[in-house]
Chains A and B, each alone.
Chain A
Amino acid sequence: MIRERYLNLAVLAGLLALALWALAGDQPFTITLLTKVVILGLAAAGLNIALGIGGLVSLGHAVFFGLGGYAMGILAFHAQNFAPLELGPLSIAGTKSMPVIWLAAIAVSAAVAVVIGLLSLRTSGVYFIMITLAFGQMFYYFAISWSVYGGEDGLSIYVRNGFPGLNTLDPIQFFGICLAILCLVLLLSDRLARSPFGLALNAARQVPVRVETVGLSPTRLKLLAFVISGAITGLAGALYADLNRFVSPTMFSWQLSGELMVLVILGGVGRLIGPVVGAAIFVALEHLLGGLTEFWHIWLGVILLLIVLFARGGVVGLISPRRVGHD
């Protein structure tokens, strides 16, 4: 049994060490795979705030992933075509600057999360799962029919966006940016979970009635968690689009929402490093099993099933079991 804090540090240090090892061995593809782990881990870390702390089973987080992706795609598309984005009276120039794109992705995702959250939190349980799924489908079909930005075919961005002072085309530098963001977000999540807000949210998940009697609104707590969660997943979407230099409606698909959930569960719900561990296992399985058999999804399914049935705390739960408190 390992203390959770050490495990968290070990996983992040391990990712960095692997990337440096790949750099020394001149294997840019491995670095790209590791970057994918980091970005998917970030997206799932976003979901983990809603799911793990808030208990909000959202089967529509692909909405935010996709919004982040399209925020990047649209801004970069206008920059590479030198045509400003006309929004009624507003005319916004496109941009190839990552920080600006990130801010846009966060802002758009957060704004949409407010709306979806306000509507969805009127329901609970299965209905919440289904209404978030429905919002995901709405955006998916909208993206498919939005022909200005590629419709079903998606949108290609020819050159990766830039970050001041760094060469983002160099895989290791882009990896560094993503890892730094992941560490920041995990730090923030950790702070959040320990803050009065996090504690209240935790309580709202477990005993909403008690939270209400001390004068807090469970719905508002959950809404805030949903918005933070969506903003983080949106940021991950922008990075993911930059990794692939491609955006398409599949970023909005419900399979992606399901996969994000799989990452969280695989790693361990509500555990800080869980989503990253989940993403690492997922990408490793995809890569290793994908090389062995075309039908690697079967084995992914079997592993997932075994984890749900027999290892309820996910992989992090196996390595570092949490002491059971009084219920």
Chain B
Amino acid sequence: MSTILIIEQILNGLQFGIMLFLMAAGLTLIFGVMGLINLAHGSLYMIGAFAAAAVAGATGSFLLALAAAMAAAALIGAIVEMTVIRRLYATDHLDQVLATFALILIFSEGTRWIFGSLPLYLNIPSWLAGPVTLPGGIQYPLYRLTLIAVGLLVWLGLWWLIERTRLGIQIRAGENDREMIAALGINISKLYTLVFALGAALAGLAGALVGTIQSVQVGMGEPVLILAFVVIVIGGIGSIKGAFVGALLVGLTSTLGGVFLPELFKLFTDPATAQSAGASLASMSIYILMSLVLIWRPTGLFGARA
């Protein structure tokens, strides 16, 4: 096992984690501010990917595709918030889970209706294709490095938005005491729509970026959604910092586990058994990580004490 391989896998894990962060940030913001569990967040990811694929197919421009992904997801997010989600804030989690589960059914089948069941493909633009050489002679795909950079930029942007702007003050105030900020004259339903659309846009962006490495198809959102839930539960629901740390932990655990657990098992048993046992343990590893974190800290690493 060479150092180069290990560094490559760590970068892969980082890239995966950063993409999870884009999903998890929206989820955790929406939960923190509105107290809503949004299972349909994965659908917004899928919508972003499909919008990007459609626009990239029509115009050939990757940047336009990304913009379309964010715009489509934000727009649909805002519409859904105003028509359905808004009625769920006052209800319990059970109703929220069900209503957003219903939204998944509607969005998934609706997308299948419009685009068909065959996967679409988004190409990496030529100016981001190919490998770059990192210090130490490691060859790594430029596109994946870009993903890491974009994710870090989004993280910085979110930090700035929440800590340094007027909107951020309102969001933080909304997390703490929604009656009070409504009483202070903030239009709370507009704020909620805005936060929801922001979360949706991040999910759409993630969908378009990841859709470029994988294929764009119906149902692509749900596996990512569940991972994003794992992330925010590990990090503590409502905390952006928690989402970031959780995303990196999950990304690294999942990627490194998949590569190194089978290798580790080969030290004890024959290769075939090691491969299957290692692979199964690796796919379970993040859920085991999550249970351990919750048993140790029932409200996540950075969650408020219940």
Is chain B found bound to chain A in the same assembly?
A: yes
Is the Cβ of A126 less than 8 Å from the Cβ of B37?
yes
Is the Cβ of A298 less than 8 Å from the Cβ of B287?
no
Residue among B84, B101, B288 making CB contact with A309, cutoff 8 Å: B84
Residues of A within 8 A of B103 (CB): 301, 305
Q: How far is the CA of A2 from the CA of B136 in the complex (A)?
A: 77
Q: How far is the CA of A302 from the CA of B287 in the complex (A)?
A: 32
Q: How large is the interface on A (under 10, 10 to 19, 20 to 34, 35 or more residues)?
A: 35 or more
Q: A142-B284, A262-B101 are in contact. Are A297 and B109 (CB under 8 A)?
A: yes
Residues of B within 8 A of A144 (CB): 280, 283
Q: How far is the CA of A127 from the CA of B233 in the complex (A)?
A: 7
Interface 9-mer from B62-70, B200-208, B289-297: B289-297
Residues of A within 8 A of B237 (CB): 126-127
Q: Total contacts A to B, CB within 8 angstroms?
A: 126
Interface 9-mer from A24-32, A132-140, A195-203, A229-237: A132-140
Min CB distance, B89 to chain A, in Å? 12
Is the Cβ of A126 less than 8 Å from the Cβ of B31?
yes
Residue among A134, A269, A305 making CB contact with B230, cutoff 8 Å: A134
Q: How far is the CA of A51 from the CA of B276 in the complex (A)?
A: 36
Min CB distance, A136 to chain B, in Å? 9
Residues of A within 8 A of B291 (CB): 119, 131, 134-135, 138
Considering residues B93, B94, B103, which has the most beta carbons from chain A within 10 angstroms of its beta carbon?
A: B94
Min CB distance, A312 to chain B, in Å? 8
Interface 9-mer from B168-176, B184-192, B298-306: B298-306
Is the Cβ of B113 less than 8 Å from the Cβ of A295?
yes
Q: How far is the CA of A92 from the CA of B190 in the complex (A)?
A: 63
Residues of A within 8 A of B98 (CB): 261-262, 265, 304, 308
Is the Cβ of B94 less than 8 Å from the Cβ of A145?
no
Is the Cβ of A133 less than 8 Å from the Cβ of B105?
no
Is the Cβ of A131 less than 8 Å from the Cβ of B233?
yes
Q: How large is the interface on B (under 10, 10 to 19, 20 to 34, 35 or more residues)?
A: 35 or more
Residues of A within 8 A of B84 (CB): 305, 309
Is the Cβ of A301 less than 8 Å from the Cβ of B94?
no
B99 contacts chain A at the CB level, 8 A cutoff: yes
A residues 89-120 in Cβ contact with B at 8 Å = 119
B residues 97-154 in Cβ contact with A at 8 Å = 97-99, 101-106, 108-110, 112-113
Interface string of B252-281 (1 = CB under 8 A from A): 000000000000000000000000100110
Residue among A51, A122, A138, A265 making CB contact with B298, cutoff 8 Å: A122
Q: How far is the CA of A141 from the CA of B283 in the complex (A)?
A: 6
Residues of B within 8 A of A138 (CB): 284, 287-288, 291
Q: How far is the CA of A173 from the CA of B97 in the complex (A)?
A: 37
A75 contacts chain B at the CB level, 8 A cutoff: no
Q: How far is the CA of A281 from the CA of B101 in the complex (A)?
A: 17
A34 contacts chain B at the CB level, 8 A cutoff: no
Across the interface, name the chain A residue whose C-beta is closest to B96. A308
Considering residues B87, B99, B300, which has the most beta carbons from chain A within 10 angstroms of its beta carbon?
A: B99
Q: How far is the CA of A59 from the CA of B230 in the complex (A)?
A: 13
Q: How far is the CA of A145 from the CA of B275 in the complex (A)?
A: 10
Residues of B within 8 A of A57 (CB): 93-94, 97
Residue among A123, A296, A302 making CB contact with B294, cutoff 8 Å: A123
Is the Cβ of B109 less than 8 Å from the Cβ of A131?
no
Is the Cβ of B102 less than 8 Å from the Cβ of A304?
yes
B-to-A contact residues, CB < 8 Å = 31, 37, 84, 87, 93-95, 97-99, 101-106, 108-110, 112-113, 222, 226, 229-230, 233, 237, 276, 279-280, 283-284, 287-288, 290-291, 294-295, 298-300, 306
Some 13 contacts from A to B, beta carbons below 8 A apart, are A125-B306, A126-B237, A127-B300, A131-B291, A134-B230, A144-B283, A261-B97, A295-B109, A298-B105, A301-B106, A302-B106, A305-B106, A308-B95
